[in-house]
Amino acid sequence: MLSELLLTDIARLSQLGRLPLHRQLYESLRRAILDGRVGAGERLPSSRELSQDLALSRNTVMAALSQLTVEGYLVSRMGSGTFVADQVPQRVTTMVLPAQGWAGSSLSVRGERLAGSASAADLEVQPFSSGTADFSAFPVALWQRLQNKHWRMVYPEMLDYSDSGGYAPLRRALADYLRVSRSVPLQAEQVIITSGTQQSLALCAHLLADHGDTVWLEDPAYWGATKVFMAAGLHAHPVAVDHEGIAPAAADELTPPRLVYVTPSHQYPTGAVMSLARRHQVLALARQHQAWVLEDDYDSEFRFSGPPISSLTGLDRDERVLYMGSFSKVLYPGLKLGHLVVPPGLVASFRQAHYDLNRPGQLPLQAALAEFIDMGHFASALRRARQSYAERRRCLLAALQPCLGPDARITGAEQGLHLCLRLAADVDDGALAAQLARVGLTVRPLSAYCLRRQDARGLVIGYGYTPLADIERCGPLLARTLVTALAQAHSASRKR
């Protein structure tokens, strides 16, 4: 019965074009599944039976079946055969929206604000700049081989926009990884592949908040997130961060949030780890205000000391937390791939909106990444990177020892690719950073990340992008310059 149906379809397809035989079989079977002619859970004939019935080679049949399995249309159960999956990937239909154009050539008020606020783009990547990983360690030759392989296997649909959640095997690989390493309780359907955290945040801002709604931001905050919320027309309400992470006070609740953006594993940029009590407080506030919590887990892969930290999402019982991660730090930023995990109740709307707003694509790239993860290359890249960053971190911490004292202490060095040297509230950290820039060292003043508060002063110092040899060479210069500058600042403030 199935064979007859497939034979008719294959005959039709072969008249239409010159698709290879395994693609014709793949396409026929996929269509039969999508339009319900073969039902969910139905058992397929064995590859031997199919090859006899269809007069196709066994290899041809196996190639088609394995592709459908990889894409989530089929599941094979050891010893009992191949079945149509209970839930098959869906294609979403598109919606036509009226076109809009720019009225004039000058920037909007929002555009002026966006262009005029703090940005990472104008900061050169030099020793100690933060927020950047060492992508020179990326295994380029291996990646190239995987890409070539997937481009050789490419078929026309792979060049289309992607299914709205992204390539199914990649979503499955990520779900497995997040369940184990981040204690995120999730099904692969909840994962949406995006072009990185910026896009994940924009989706959340557009789908969960309206123009003028309030977003609580950590103060000091990540510029990237601040800008996305600004672009979405949200009202940013800064909430101070202390050593336990975001610290909402009663006064903050006078401006109730619609969204709460947090970096609980390693607050960016202070490095504070959100305590368990605060995690419960944030979840309770979200429940009380019917708000959504956006958890940006940007560098949790790199933890060097202290107990492992689970995700905030893992504690969420009300399905109010959305979790986002990125490959920018572990692989390389130009890859432009990240993932967003949404609660089950939001999956359909997020997929639809992602498709309509962003037209996601790059399936061959996603396929190569899925294999990179499945074959264990991701885990080895992570291991190598952790080891290399651990050495850089140790070297930087040792170099900074002479600067430390009651008014200069390090926070956030247990994890990530940067640490924060916290200084007294009367230190001009901007002037200090400028002084260091004159000797070729790029550190960022903590005050540049502050939204409202005046008391957070310090330097954000990165070691991810700085090779060990450069830290060994430039670390003592950094420390000497700091010791002198801090002594001068100290005596100046005593005279005042």
Q: Which parts of this chain interact with ligand PLP (CB under 6 A)? A: 131, 196-198, 222, 224, 263, 268, 296, 298, 326, 328, 333, 338
Instruction: Give the integer Cα–Cα distance in Å for 307 and 315.
Output: 17
**Least spacing, CB of residue 33 vs ligand PLP, in Å:** 34
Nearer to ligand PLP, 64 or 221 (CB): 221
- Smallest gap from Cβ 387 to ligand PLP, in A, equals 21
Residue 494 CB neighbour total at 10 angstroms: 7
Instruction: Closer to ligand PLP by CB, 260 or 482: give it.
Output: 260
Q: Which is nearer to ligand PLP, 73 or 177 (CB)?
A: 177
Which H or E run contains 23? helix 21-34
CB contact set of 376 (below 8 Å; sequence gap of 6+): none
Q: Give whichever of 198 and 270 is closer to ligand PLP, judged by the CB atom.
A: 198
What residues contact 117, with CB distance under 8 A and at least 6 apart? 223, 226, 227, 230
Task: Kindly tell me which of 296 and 414 has the beta carbon lying closer to ligand PLP.
Answer: 296
Query: What's the rounded Cα separation, in Å, for the pair 241 and 221?
Result: 9
Q: What's the min distance (Å) between Cβ of 269 and ligand PLP?
A: 8
How far apart are alpha carbons 416 and 402 in whole angstroms?
23
* CB 174, CB 373: distance < 8 Å: yes
Q: How far is CA 432 from CA 183, 437, 475, in A?
A: 40, 9, 16
Strands 457-462 and 444-445, bridge-based pairing: antiparallel
Cα 442 to Cα 462: distance, rounded to the nearest angstrom: 9
Q: Would you say 190 or 263 has its CB closer to ligand PLP?
A: 263
- Which of the 8 DSSP states describes residue 178? H
Token pair listed for 201: 């945040």
Q: Residue 168: exposed, middle, or buried by beta-carbon count in 10 A (0-12, 13-18, 19+)?
A: buried
* 115 versus 125: smaller Cβ distance to ligand PLP: 125
Nearest approach in angstroms of CB 195 to ligand PLP is 8
Q: Which is nearer to ligand PLP, 47 or 362 (CB)?
A: 362
Task: Pick the closer one to ligand PLP by CB: 24 or 162.
Answer: 162
Could you give the residue ranges of the DSSP H alpha helices within 245-346?
276-289
| Residue 486 to residue 490: CA distance in whole angstroms | 6
What are the φ/ψ torsions at residue 170 (nearest 5 degrees)? -70, -40
Burial (Cβ within 10 Å: 0-12, 13-18, ≥19) of residue 385: buried
- For ligand PLP, which is the closer residue by CB, 73 or 298? 298
Task: With CA atoms as reference, report the closest residue to 242 among 278, 195, 205.
Answer: 278
Q: How far apart are CA 439 and CA 12, in angstroms?
A: 71
Q: How far is the CB of 220 from ligand PLP (least distance, A)?
A: 11
Q: DSSP code of 334?
A: G
Nearer to ligand PLP, 263 or 270 (CB): 263
Q: How far is CA 193 from the centre of its chain?
A: 9
How far apart are CB 91 and ligand PLP at their closest, in Å?
Answer: 26
Note the residue count of the chain.
Answer: 496
CB 83 within 8 A of CB 44: yes
Using only C-alpha atoms, what is the Rg of the chain? 26
In the complex, the smallest distance separating the C-beta of residue 198 from ligand PLP, rounded to whole angstroms, is 4
Pairing mode, strands 292-296 and 321-326 = parallel
Evaluate the CA torsion angle 177, 178, 183, 186 in order and state its sign. Answer: negative
Question: Nearer Cβ to ligand PLP, position 222 or 323?
Answer: 222
